[in-house]
Structure 1
Amino acid sequence: MMAATKRIALGAVVTALIAGLAGCSGLGTGGAGSAPGAGKESAPGAEGNSPAAAPKGAVNLIGDGSTAFTGAQPELPRAKRLKPGQKPPQFVVFSWDGAGEDSQKLFSHFRAVAKKYDAKMTYFLSGVYLLPEEKKELYNPPQHAAGRSDIGFNDTEGIRQTLAELRAAWLDGNEIGTHFNGHFCGPDGGVGTWSVEEWKSEISQAKAFVKSWKTNTPALKGEGPLPFDYDKELIGARTPCLEGQKNMVAAARTMGFRYDSSGVGNQVWPTKKDGIWDLPLQLVPVPGRAFETLSMDYNFMFNQSGTTQGDPDKHEYWGNQMRDGLLQAFDRAYSGNRAPLIIGNHFESWNGGTYMRAIEETIKTVCTKRDVQCVSFRQLADWLDAQDPATLARLGTLKVGQKPKPGWTAFLAGTAPGKAAVGPVPARPADQPAGKGPDGSGD
């Protein structure tokens, strides 16, 4: 399903943004039902927020046994406050909308990639991916008939495979967020038209499908539970097509959410919005073009081909263009203001899988660098919460690509308020052509 097309401008640092905001297609693009796939400073976790550890091997089932409390999440180190004058790490968040496993085996593939490069990620699960087609009437979407979903539902084997990846992902230290359920976009009953109360219903149902998959899929009653309490695990989301953020946040902040990633922003340090961390997708360079687009595979695809099945002769170039745009965005943060880089993706093989290649090459390049921590949104929120508010305020004075004029030590040596000294903004990487496309146009 395609998202609505919009044009957005965010101040003088943006030349233009020409893109559909975000899009997800249904699970099973490659066909559900096939067999599932199979060094440096630690990334931060939650200091003081982890639940008390259960006895080793203990499993305390919750509800019908679909989920369970198994103790503190493994592979999740604690967040630490920066010392006075300490340069912040470069955080990079790789996130996945509508995460589910199908015959493409992209969930299992990128979970393995994350382990290889010591990265943690956020998987935004669509609740209907744990609801079988024959039980679809259990879903009552706001402003739509019961059993309606723009991304469909799942089958027993698809649910089994997705559960296996969710278990393993959490045990690897990754985060399980939500992409809600039916993925309705646009003015006709889309999520952007929903009230706060309708969002509360949608969030509650997204949780319920995760917490009751054994009841809803009797054939899987013998499967092991998901090893977490989803009422506590679920602290953040991204809305379908990046629509409906305001009312969603108003609902979510009363239901335990600590962050949202449904917005659009620049590569600057995040702040709280309406009481929770606003961790938006960001405008990043499109090499060879005079505008920037959102840091998501869908938006590169939309600007390049406008279709998921574009000219095969351009697939390699398009993938390289996305990879190089993300790397330019990384470099200007890493050498500049050290603002976290937020990247969104879908488990899809659009344009011959070129965007999946681009993401994997980006992970390989950035997650292995010194002082870089590839983390989940939960870990980033934990780190932000652990910092001195005065330190975050100082970091917030740095613009895209800016670094402190006196150097990091002097810039963050104290916590006294005041206008921070910053260096000049470097030339925009997006304005530096990265070579012509195969047709000579640079597109």
Structure 2
Amino acid sequence: MAATQRFAAGIAVTAACAVALSGCGDAEHTGAERVAAPEKKPAAAPKTAVRLIGDGSTAFTGAQPKLPRPERLEPGQRPPQFVVFSWDGAGEDGQRLFSHFRKVAKANNATMTYFLSGVYMLPEEKRKLYDPPQHNAGSSDIGFNDVEGIRDTVEQLRGAWLEGNEVGTHFNGHFCGSSGGVGEWSVEEWKSEIAQAKSFVTSWKTNAGLKDVEPLPFDYEKELIGARTPCLEGQKNFMAAARELGFRYDTSGVNDQVWPKKKDGLWDLSMQLVPVPGRSFETLTMDYNFMVNQSGTTSQGDPSMHEYWGDQMRDGLLQGFDRAYEGNRAPLIIGNHFQSWNGGTYMRAIEETIETVCNKKEVRCVSFRQLADWLDAQDPATLDRLRTLKVGQAPQGGWASYLSAPPAPAPKGVPGAPADGER
């Protein structure tokens, strides 16, 4: 979202969060003989009930709906092709891109990760509540929100989570590059930034005066397990803070299309380099990076090139997808912004990519949470084996032999068996 852009008003559609309980009364009888009514057991309490948290901005409503249970690969089984679509600074404004891509995801059997900027939950008049590291209170390089913008964003976040999507964080003021940017923040300063991002999500009702709006249906302390830093800066100290706070992954780096591994205790689910069709180099799987390599600016470039640039990004992502799908099956990690740079051509590119890949056989378009869950469920030896495959490299001899179970150890006493005590 642009730094000075105000969020447009919209019609809030609330999701039902309350659980109704019904009671039973005893039947009455008349006549000479009174027959005792059979004893009725009280209605069972619901397995999950809404429990408001704090001022009611968030609530515990039970397990997240539509979250698939991860399954461990069977010996010799080909891995699914994971694709993660994610959005930095997710919020609903006058472009209505958040609500639009929720519809696109549902239509194509996809879930995504929305990295919410905390200041999008804070109204302009309350800006002084934000005290960013190394900046004056009330500072933000992406501005703040208004009440109707907060209402609209809450509506989208609520619906997205109930559909199985993930809500992560893109922190708050998006300071990068200049003096005092996130690249210079200490571990303790990152902890302060994270705590403030959480506080804006868990107190938007009070800050915006929206007491009549339904809560977000999740406990953000438990929901928040990963992030992407502004401009991909400050990763080292952020990860140290995130590890102490119980995060499970980071996606602030740059990597090749290979199977991920843990870095300093967190899954490194970095975005990746993919081809730029017609050029001799690769670039990051993000709309901003394609744009910089095309028009070189966030200002609108040559309108006659918009369609070509959008096609170039789409085709680059599809080339990256194809070489993984037909090769090492490494997850494809894609990052975006709800922006209309160069006439919205990158939004079109992403939508066409979703429509092309998410309906293919053995493809799972998932959130980072779902990918991390799946990775955690696998045999570490299997993941080690997958990481030996290079970009686009299919296993020689096929998946059945490449991921087959290792031979059982020989029974004791037969030639070649280990002696007692050997390992």
Q: TM-score range, shorter-chain basis?
A: 0.7 to 0.9
- Structure 2 stretches of 5 or more lacking a match? 14-44, 408-423
Secondary structure of the residue aligned to 2:305 is: helix
Aligned to 1:285: 275
Aligned to 1:374: 365
Aligned to 1:163: 154
Question: Which among 254, 258, 274 is matched to residue 264 of structure 2?
Answer: 274
- Contact 2:72 / 2:378 at 8 angstroms: preserved in 1? yes
Question: Which among 15, 29, 33 is matched to residue 8 of structure 2?
Answer: 33
Aligned to 1:150: 141
Secondary structure of the residue aligned to 1:283 is: strand
Question: Which among 209, 225, 234 is matched to residue 224 of structure 2?
Answer: 234
Secondary structure of the residue aligned to 1:61 is: strand
- Contact 1:239 / 1:245 at 8 angstroms: preserved in 2? yes
Aligned to 1:82: 73
C-alpha displacement of 1:193: 0.2
C-alpha displacement of 1:32: 1.6
Secondary structure of the residue aligned to 2:390 is: coil
Percent of pairs identical after alignment? 76
- Contact 1:284 / 1:294 at 8 angstroms: preserved in 2? yes
Aligned to 1:332: 323
d(CA) in 2 for partners of 1:284, 1:115? 26
Aligned to 1:321: 312
- Aligned amino acid, residue 35 of structure 1: G
- Aligned amino acid, residue 170 of structure 1: W
Aligned to 2:28: none
d(CA) in 2 for partners of 1:160, 1:403? 48
C-alpha displacement of 1:150: 0.3
Aligned to 2:38: none
Question: Which among 385, 391, 398 is matched to residue 394 of structure 1?
Answer: 385
d(CA) in 2 for partners of 1:352, 1:213? 32
1:300 aligns with 2:290: yes
CA spacing shift, 1:402–1:155, aligned 2, 3 Å: same
CA deviation map 1:278-325 (0-9, x unaligned): 000100000000000000000000000012300000000000000000
C-alpha displacement of 1:134: 0.5
- Contact 2:12 / 2:155 at 8 angstroms: preserved in 1? no
d(CA) in 1 for partners of 2:353, 2:12? 22
Aligned to 2:83: 92
Structure-to-structure mapping, 1:4-403, within 5 angstroms: 25-26=2-3, 28=5, 31-35=6-10, 55=46, 58-218=49-209, 220-308=210-298, 309-403=300-394
C-alpha displacement of 1:415: 4.8
Aligned to 1:16: none
C-alpha displacement of 1:269: 0.1
- Contact 2:8 / 2:93 at 8 angstroms: preserved in 1? yes
- Contact 1:37 / 1:109 at 8 angstroms: preserved in 2? no
- Aligned amino acid, residue 303 of structure 1: N
Secondary structure of the residue aligned to 1:182 is: coil
CA deviation map 1:130-161 (0-9, x unaligned): 00000000001000000000000000000000
d(CA) in 2 for partners of 1:267, 1:36? 41
CA spacing shift, 1:160–1:27, aligned 2, 3 Å: farther
- Aligned amino acid, residue 366 of structure 2: V
CA deviation map 1:177-200 (0-9, x unaligned): 000000000140000000000000
d(CA) in 2 for partners of 1:122, 1:112? 14
CA deviation map 1:2-51 (0-9, x unaligned): xxxxxxxxxxxxxxxxxxxxxx64373xx42232698xxxxxxxxxxxxx
d(CA) in 1 for partners of 2:146, 2:307? 34
d(CA) in 2 for partners of 1:409, 1:209? 49
- Aligned amino acid, residue 294 of structure 1: L
Secondary structure of the residue aligned to 1:336 is: coil
* Root mean square deviation, CA, Å: 1.5
Aligned to 1:6: none
- Contact 1:390 / 1:415 at 8 angstroms: preserved in 2? no
d(CA) in 1 for partners of 2:8, 2:75? 54
Aligned to 1:441: none
d(CA) in 2 for partners of 1:151, 1:235? 23
Question: What is the TM-score normalised by the length of structure 2?
Answer: 0.87
C-alpha displacement of 1:256: 1.6
Secondary structure of the residue aligned to 2:226 is: coil
Aligned to 1:43: none
d(CA) in 2 for partners of 1:164, 1:26? 22
Q: Segments of 4+ in structure 1 off by > 6 A?
A: none
- Contact 2:11 / 2:152 at 8 angstroms: preserved in 1? yes
CA spacing shift, 1:193–1:316, aligned 2, 3 Å: same
d(CA) in 2 for partners of 1:71, 1:90? 29
CA spacing shift, 1:25–1:414, aligned 2, 3 Å: farther
d(CA) in 2 for partners of 1:307, 1:203? 30
Secondary structure of the residue aligned to 2:267 is: strand
d(CA) in 1 for partners of 2:11, 2:384? 46
Secondary structure of the residue aligned to 2:175 is: coil
CA deviation map 1:343-363 (0-9, x unaligned): 000000000000000000000
